[in-house]
Amino acid sequence: MTIHKAQGATCDHALVLVDKLMPREAIYTAMSRGRRRNDLYLAIDTGPADIAHAPEITRDAIDALVAGIERSAAQQMAIDNPGLGR
């Protein structure tokens, strides 16, 4: 199920797949669906050699998650920038 379809829904356990392009609003929406548990899985780019083995959590994975959380898809309102007056 997509995040947009899950918005407003609640379940006992949510599994969330996050990539480096997902904005924080989507991460928040997805991570607030589970009543008892929310598990976050981070999709990282791996080469063919990594397919046979589970990748270790690396600094790149953590940086990708932080980048996603810091990215916002919200539109900025004109009132938020009073210096941009007419």
Do the domain assignments include residue 76?
no
Share of the chain above pLDDT 70, in %: 71
Whether 79 is covered by a domain: the verdict is no
Q: To the nearest whole number, what is the mean pLDDT of the chain?
A: 77
Task: For residue 12, tell me if it sits in a domain.
Answer: yes
Residue 47: domain span: 3-61
Give the pLDDT score at 71.
75
pLDDT tens digits, one per residue of 22-35: 888 888 888 889 99
Q: Which pair of structure tokens corresponds to residue 58?
A: 């690396």
- Is residue 52 predicted with pLDDT exceeding 90? no
d(C-alpha 29, C-alpha 3), whole Å:
7
pTM above 0.75, yes or no: no
Residue 85 lies in a domain: no
Total number of domains constituting the chain: 1
- State the pLDDT at residue 9: 84
User: DSSP states of 38-53 as a string?
Assistant: EEEEE-----GGGTTS
